[in-house]
Amino acid sequence: MSMLIGFREKSFLDKISILNEVATAKDPVELEALLDLFQNPLEDTSVDYMVVTALNGVLSADEQKTVELLSKEDGKLRILCIRVCGEFQFKSAVPVLMQMADEASDPDFLFEVLTSLSKIGGPESLELFRSNINNDDDLIVVMSIEMLAELKDEQSIPELKGFVERNNEEDRYEVCDLTTWKAVECLATIGTDEALDFIVSNLHHRNPTVRRVVTDSLTVLGSRAVPYLNKIISPDTAKDDMILAANVLGFIGDKEALDGLMDAIEKQYSTDSSVKYAIYEAIGRIGTMKGVISLIDGLEDDDELITVAVMTGLDGLVNPGVTKKLVEIVGQGGSKAGKILRAIVTAKAVNVFQALYAEGKIGRFLMNAVAASKDAEVHEAFRAKLVEIGGAEAEADMARLPEAVVAGGKRALAVDDSKSMLALYRSILTSGGYEPTVAENGQDAYSHIELSEEFDVIITDMNMPVMDGMEFVSKLRQTNGYADIPVIMVTTESEYSQQELARKTGVNDFITKPFTADQLKAKIAEYVS
């Protein structure tokens, strides 16, 4: 006997209790009464909601009846049944749903049907999703692209490439369309040679968000992406493309990338400092003993930023050979020795520090450089290493390090995905009297803004994973209280249009890598007295 006999005359609490039981029991005997309550509601929001819940429960246990009800004229009932078919993956509904999609003229209704088919899955609806990849409704297009990705449809590659190419045109590159975003992710999922070569060729897409999506997609692919990225590490490749390819290879960290990166250094594919920096940093991130050869060679470079990147990489690869080479170079004295000692401190290379600490005068010079730092984090890192080393000399050296460094009252936020760049920013900012806060990407940086932290200046990279510099600055400028804070963007970009785009998001000024500490301080001084 139905539990819903005389339901309309029951009290509110009894109605809720009965509907809960019906939803749990899923007894088909209750279906007709539930359909009557659904089509002729009681006008009580809570009860009517529970009727829908109970009807969902009963239909979920009766695939045949649910599919039959798809043909009903009642629009609300059809939508409910469409959703139940998708939620519970009723395969027998696929032919009916596909016919409904073919006949649909209302985009909202078509979206409901496609959503249900996407949840059911399977290749039967592939042609339908292909046919909707150029629908006028962007949500339908996105749904179709996501399904083509799930089905790894190689036939759709030309259409997917078209989305990315159109978004690179002169009148469209300033905004990343959601369809472009999904097209890149779909191509990465399909993963054929054609698809991955195309994605890699768009590492330097004119839109920064597309660049980030490309970077993130390739990083997620991991070792699968390495052969395609290796093609970009070439003497014929443009500077910006090689930098971005090296960055992604570093993020992936696969040793199969090492030969190409080491060749780029040995054969001097580029003399540009920014390119060399990106390659050295990638070699350091991969972190194998084979890469030590190139990193040691990098110590000969005059660029301080490259030395910091090299030291960051070497710190995880210290061995007797590395120690011997460092002792040899530093022992010669001069500007090169000073540059290396400063890099050890800036990079907080505590393992290198430990290896050199017992090397007589070299250890003393290195300890002097640590003590001279104005960065509290540097003191904390090396103090911890001195505790580990132990002994009377280490105790005496710990006493030389202040327990805390008094901040200069000014605060700066530095944003970069490079560990060595963040280390350099800390060094430059603390020496200039700033209290630095650092973040690895725009999202991390914006978390400080959400906490209403105050800064006198913000320095941000342009190209970063998770959230790029332009998106971060755009969000910053839309946040109350941050409209006027000076933002300096650090970039290697050679294309003028990128700076124009950045200015539109709210960037005040630019400084191009490579730069010296004095150049960055001078740039900051233009905006902060």
Query: Which segment of 61-65, 107-111, 348-352, 462-466 scores lowest on mean pLDDT?
Result: 462-466
- Across the strands, what pairs with 412? 436, 457
Asked whether the predicted pLDDT for residue 107 surpasses 60, the reply is: yes
Contact 504, 489 (CB under 8 A): no
The tokens 């930023």 sit on which residue?
Answer: 305
Shared domain for 277 and 156, answered yes or no, is yes
Shared domain for 161 and 221, answered yes or no, is yes
* Position 142 in a domain: no
Q: Is 271 helix (H, G, I), strand (E, B) or coil?
A: coil
CA 365 to chain centre: 40
Shared domain for 348 and 462, answered yes or no, is no
* Position 132 in a domain: no
Contact 304, 516 (CB under 8 A): yes
Phi-psi label, residue 298: left if phi above 0, alpha if psi -120 to 50, beta otherwise? alpha
Helix, strand and coil percent figures for the chain, each rounded to 5: 65, 5, 30
Shared domain for 253 and 312, answered yes or no, is no
Burial 62-98 (b: 16+ CB within 10 A, else e): bbeebbebbeeeeeebbebbbbbbbebebeebbebbb
**What is the C-alpha to C-alpha distance for residues 373 and 115, in angstroms, rounded to an integer?**
59
Domain edge (last residue) among 231, 252, 281 = 281
Which amino acid appears at position 157 of this protein? I
Shared domain for 328 and 382, answered yes or no, is yes
Phi-psi label, residue 385: left if phi above 0, alpha if psi -120 to 50, beta otherwise? alpha
Mean pLDDT value across residues 360-383: 93
Domain edge (last residue) among 405, 433, 449 = 405
- Across the strands, what pairs with 101? none
Asked whether the predicted pLDDT for residue 228 surpasses 90, the reply is: yes
Contact 442, 471 (CB under 8 A): yes
* Position 274 in a domain: yes
Asked whether the predicted pLDDT for residue 404 surpasses 80, the reply is: no
Q: How many helices (H) and strands (E) does the chain have?
A: 30, 5
Mean pLDDT of the chain: 93
Asked whether the predicted pLDDT for residue 125 surpasses 70, the reply is: yes
Phi, psi (rounded to 5 degrees) for 465: -75, 170
Shared domain for 116 and 96, answered yes or no, is yes
* Position 365 in a domain: yes
Comparing 499 with 50, the larger pLDDT belongs to 50
Kindly give, in sequence order, each residue whose CB lies less than 8 Å from that of residue 286, ignoring residues fewer than 6 positions away.
249, 250, 253, 254, 255, 257, 258, 261
Mean pLDDT value across residues 389-397: 94
Sheet with 509-512, side-by-side order of all strands: 434-439, 410-415, 457-461, 487-491, 509-512
Query: Which segment of 291-305, 350-364, 399-413 scores lowest on mean pLDDT?
Result: 399-413
What percent of the chain lies above the pLDDT cut of 90? Answer: 90
* Position 137 in a domain: no
pLDDT confidence of residue 512:
87
pLDDT confidence of residue 497:
74
Asked whether the predicted pLDDT for residue 495 surpasses 90, the reply is: no
How would residue 514 be classed by pLDDT, with cut points 50, 70 and 90?
A: confident
* Position 146 in a domain: no
Q: Give the total number of structural domains in the chain.
A: 4
Shared domain for 73 and 180, answered yes or no, is no
Contact 441, 216 (CB under 8 A): no
pLDDT confidence of residue 513:
83
Query: Which segment of 15-19, 91-95, 399-403 scores lowest on mean pLDDT?
Result: 399-403
Residue 15 tokens, joined: 């109605």
Contact 180, 196 (CB under 8 A): no
Shared domain for 343 and 425, answered yes or no, is no
From the number of C-beta atoms within 10 Å of its C-beta (0-12, 13-18, 19+), residue 169 rates as exposed
From the number of C-beta atoms within 10 Å of its C-beta (0-12, 13-18, 19+), residue 285 rates as buried
Tens-place pLDDT, residues 283-339: 999 999 999 999 999 999 999 999 999 999 999 999 999 999 999 999 998 889 999
Kindly give, in sequence order, each residue whose CB lies less than 8 Å from that of residue 512, ignoring residues fewer than 6 positions away.
490, 491, 492
* Position 513 in a domain: yes
Asked whether the predicted pLDDT for residue 406 surpasses 60, the reply is: no
**What is the C-alpha to C-alpha distance for residues 3 and 101, in angstroms, rounded to an integer?**
37
DSSP assignment letter at 152 = T
Tens-place pLDDT, residues 140-190: 999 999 999 999 999 999 999 999 999 999 999 999 999 999 999 999 999
The domain containing residue 265 runs over which residues? 152-281
From the number of C-beta atoms within 10 Å of its C-beta (0-12, 13-18, 19+), residue 260 rates as buried
How would residue 498 be classed by pLDDT, with cut points 50, 70 and 90?
A: confident
**What is the C-alpha to C-alpha distance for residues 442 and 250, in angstroms, rounded to an integer?**
19
Mean pLDDT value across residues 489-508: 84
> Which strand (E) or helix (H) includes residue 406?
none
Q: What's the pTM value of the predicted model, to 2 decimals?
A: 0.87
pLDDT confidence of residue 73:
85
Domain edge (last residue) among 354, 380, 405 = 405
How would residue 405 be classed by pLDDT, with cut points 50, 70 and 90?
A: low
Shared domain for 326 and 416, answered yes or no, is no
**What is the C-alpha to C-alpha distance for residues 484 and 505, in angstroms, rounded to an integer?**
13
* Position 286 in a domain: no
pLDDT confidence of residue 11:
94
From the number of C-beta atoms within 10 Å of its C-beta (0-12, 13-18, 19+), residue 332 rates as exposed
pLDDT confidence of residue 16:
95
The tokens 């390739």 sit on which residue?
Answer: 218
